[in-house]
Amino acid sequence: MKFLVVAALLLQLIVLVAAGRDFYKILGVARTATKKEIKKAYRKLAMEHHPDKNQGNDEAAKIFQDIGAAYEVLSDDDKRKIYDRHGEEGLKDGGQGHDASDIFSSMFGGSFFNMHFGGNGRGEKQVPRGSDVHIDLDVTLSDLYKGAFIEVLHTKGVFREAPGTRKCNCRTEMRTQQVGPGQFSMANVKVCDDCPNVKLTHEHVELDLEIEPGMVQGQELKFHAEGEPHADGEPGDLIFHINTLKHSRFQRAGNDLLTNITITLEDALTGFEMEVKHLDGHKVQVKREGITAPNSIVKVAGEGMKSFDNNLERGDLYITFDVEFPTLNFPSEAVESLKELLGQGSKQRVYNGLESRFVKGA
């Protein structure tokens, strides 16, 4: 009995090895998944199973390798085609097989986890660093509302080895020299090492920026070591700063959203029902009964931006109404009936304008 089970397991193992891994299953995507879906799935899994986050967990390390391999194949049209037809076996001589960490870095830049999760960082010794590069990243309000991936093609300088040598690691050292019998003098001398020569080249990297729902104006997205290179040390960082683009209908105030709606005088006097198309296309119902005065503000709870710090929290939507008056004058009989209907009489009041204009509910 036991033998049978072992035999069955062995058989299963052999079948699995022969057929190779199911990359679609590993990434949890359909065989028809788009590149974007594949990237998204990879991104999520890679973060979860990254070795820096799962130290000493062999299982996670294995999964990380698998998802790296799966992403490498499925994100490449040619490899995916071969894989779909012949399985992993078909790719064996296709020269694939990058290290899972390399695949990860190429997508997230440098040592992602060191800066996102406070890992070992840059070490204590003073290694010279190139400058950080700061770039404003224009992001629409819709993308900040929904979250988005933005691909950026970044051209960075990289020092590559070149023939010959150059002076490097130069420093000043104190030297004692004998200048005569029993006479010494101390002097500062400049000493350098000989290093292989370098030449500045340019490389293009495709960076994948994740805009998370609720990110705020000026927020930083940092890519470690994608900044300016340093011939004798490490490159600086590349830092994107979110710059919110103006939206035609919504304005952000903290996590709240503001919008304006013009209604007719008729609607203002008798009530109305309408839909407001939100930033992700969903419809917000707005219903008013009775009178809506010009400049009144209606709060629609929970229709604001997600809070970046806590995605379960949302701001509110504030709608300010203004009223479009008819441009035609009423005939005199109508004026009389209107006066009667409105019953306000003719009176004026001069005031300083700092009154509350708040109306509750929508």
List residues binding ligand NAG (CB under 6 A).
Answer: 250-251, 258-260, 320
On the CB side of 356, CA atoms within 13 Å amount to: 4
DSSP-assigned beta bridge partners for residue 185? 177
From the CB of 267, what's the least distance to ligand NAG, in Å?
18
- Quick one: tokens of 273? 């029902």
Q: Which is nearer to ligand NAG, 117 or 358 (CB)?
A: 358
Tokens 């986890």 correspond to what residue? 113
Main-chain dihedrals φ then ψ at residue 199, nearest 5 degrees: -135, 140
Three-state secondary-structure class, residue 97: coil
Cα–chain-centroid distance for residue 248? 23
Contact 27, 67 (CB under 8 A): yes
From the CB of 154, what's the least distance to ligand NAG, in Å?
33
Q: Which is nearer to ligand NAG, 208 or 256 (CB)?
A: 256
Rg of the chain over CA atoms, in angstroms?
A: 33
Q: Which is nearer to ligand NAG, 197 or 320 (CB)?
A: 320
From the CB of 139, what's the least distance to ligand NAG, in Å?
17
Three-state secondary-structure class, residue 13: helix
Q: Which is nearer to ligand NAG, 83 or 321 (CB)?
A: 321
From the CB of 144, what's the least distance to ligand NAG, in Å?
15
Residue whose C-alpha is closest to residue 288's, from 190, 193, 359: 359
> What is the b/e burial string over 226-243, where b = at least 16 CB atoms within 10 angstroms of the residue's CB?
bbebbebebbbbbbbebe
Q: Which is nearer to ligand NAG, 222 or 249 (CB)?
A: 249
From the CB of 146, what's the least distance to ligand NAG, in Å?
18
Q: Which is nearer to ligand NAG, 53 or 299 (CB)?
A: 299
- Determine the Cα–Cα distance for residues 68 and 106; give it in Å rounded to an integer: 11
From the CB of 259, what's the least distance to ligand NAG, in Å?
5
Tokens 């998802």 correspond to what residue? 67
Q: Which is nearer to ligand NAG, 230 or 247 (CB)?
A: 247
From the CB of 258, what's the least distance to ligand NAG, in Å?
5
Residues in the chain: 362
* Amino acid making up residue 34: T
Q: Which is nearer to ligand NAG, 223 or 250 (CB)?
A: 250
Contact 80, 15 (CB under 8 A): no
Residue whose C-alpha is closest to residue 317's, from 275, 272, 349: 275
From the CB of 158, what's the least distance to ligand NAG, in Å?
44
